[in-house]
Structure 1
Amino acid sequence: MFEQLTQLVQQFGQEAIVNNNAVPNEHNETVMKEAESTIFSSLQKMASEGGIEKLAGLLQGNNAQNPTNPAVQQITRQLTGSLGEKFGLNSSAAAGVSESLIPNILGGLVNKVNDPNDSFQITDLIGTISGGGAQTSGIMDAISKYGTQFGLDQNADGKLDMNDAIAVSKSSGGIGSLLGKLFGK
């Protein structure tokens, strides 16, 4: 996940940071590292503090790109504060950088998870954020819960699992269709 996150920060940081006169050039690289660190630590904190439903909700559809999503707002506020404190950016400049970066980067992560041509999977993302183990299972259970609410439970057993994937693969859309429905594609 770190590699994907770094790539997305570099991609979206070009406009929001490097081409931004409010960010002194000597801080460009460290501001990008701060954005990366803030996103990762915020997602970890959400997972460890029981924000599993918030995190699962973030990973569905276009929620990660929605600046009004509570998880996006939380991470944006954290980065804004950090940029002001560590780099002396005024609140307006710090908020501008954060509001430009966070939804784009989070949306990019979700898009990578949804891309069948990308080897990055949701379990990779969840496992990295949660540190693996029971926490990963809890987050995947929350995603399953949301998925059943959106009609993805193909065999009506109250959970999303491989049996649903098999049912979908026998239908017209295949497993990509099931995952696409889950993530709003």
Structure 2
Amino acid sequence: MLDNLFNLVKQSAGDAIVNNPAIPNEKNEEVIAEASNSITGGLQGLLSQGGLKDVLKMFGGQDGGVENSNVTRQISGGFVQNLMDKFGLDNQSAGNVANSVVPNVLSSLVQKTNDSNDKSFDIQSLFNNLSGGKTAGINLQGLLSKVKGGALDLDGDGDTDMQDLLSVFNKGGNSGGGLMDKVKGLFGS
């Protein structure tokens, strides 16, 4: 799964990395690997720090699209810092690379996970890999379908929040424990 992510980064590297005069040609593969690590690490960090809602909203097409999502902004910021620290790029050059690569890769990732005919990525396997298995037992495809359909705005406030997601697991009187605790753990609550 993570090899497929590296290949997505490589496909998006074109002008932003490979044909970029700010990045020496002998560093292209390292920068591509850093982009892949930044995206993977950024998604892992978000999931481990309670950002499941933001990640699901991005994959569900909410949050203003991939380019404007909180997820993209956070991952891009981390990638910019890594480019400056590890490769000596100035802030503007690093920002140009990140602003080209990260949204393109995340858009492709979202498109591939939402395409039932594309078996290179599926949302459940991706999240299980990124969360170290903590999302096993959570029907992420079902949650994603509800996010896309707007069915998770159960409190009528115009957004999908933790209470909306948790209410899915409370149906039938489950007041906590097991799966409920797992979901709360993903949200950092």
TM exceeds 0.5? yes
The Cα shift of 1:104 comes to 0.4
Q: Which residue of 2 aligns with 1:123?
A: 124
For these two proteins, the number of residue pairs brought into alignment is 155
Q: Which residue of 1 aligns with 2:35?
A: 35
Q: Which residue of 1 aligns with 2:83?
A: 83
Q: Which residue of 2 aligns with 1:70?
A: 70
Q: Report the 3-state secondary structure (helix = DSSP H, G, I; strand = E; otherwise coil) of the residue aligned with 2:117.
A: coil
Higher helix fraction (1 or 2): 1
Q: 1:21-65, CA deviations, whole angstroms, 9 ceiling, x for partnerless residues?
A: 111112111000000001001100111111110111111127696
Assess, with a 3 A threshold, how the Cα gap between structure 1 residues 143 and 117 changes in structure 2: closer, same or farther: closer
Q: 1:102-139, CA deviations, whole angstroms, 9 ceiling, x for partnerless residues?
A: 00001111111122322121111111111113x34568
* In 2, Cα distance between equivalents of 1:10 and 1:66: 19
Aligned letter for 1:87? F
* In 1, Cα distance between equivalents of 2:105 and 2:64: 8
Of all paired residues, the percent bearing the same amino acid is: 35
Assess, with a 3 A threshold, how the Cα gap between structure 1 residues 92 and 9 changes in structure 2: closer, same or farther: same
Matches within 5 A, 1:135-174: 135-137=135-137, 140=140, 143=144, 146-147=147-148, 149-150=150-151, 159=168
Equivalent pair of 1:17/1:31 in contact (CA under 8 Å): yes
Q: Which residue of 1 aligns with 2:113?
A: 113
* In 1, Cα distance between equivalents of 2:71 and 2:8: 18
Equivalent pair of 1:80/1:91 in contact (CA under 8 Å): yes
Equivalent pair of 2:63/2:70 in contact (CA under 8 Å): no
Equivalent pair of 1:64/1:72 in contact (CA under 8 Å): no
* In 1, Cα distance between equivalents of 2:16 and 2:58: 22
Q: Report the 3-state secondary structure (helix = DSSP H, G, I; strand = E; otherwise coil) of the residue aligned with 2:68.
A: coil
Equivalent pair of 1:84/1:90 in contact (CA under 8 Å): yes
Unaligned runs of 5+ in 2: 153-166, 170-189
Equivalent pair of 2:58/2:66 in contact (CA under 8 Å): no
Equivalent pair of 1:52/1:142 in contact (CA under 8 Å): no
Unaligned runs of 5+ in 1: 152-157, 161-185
Matches within 5 A, 1:12-27: 12-27=12-27
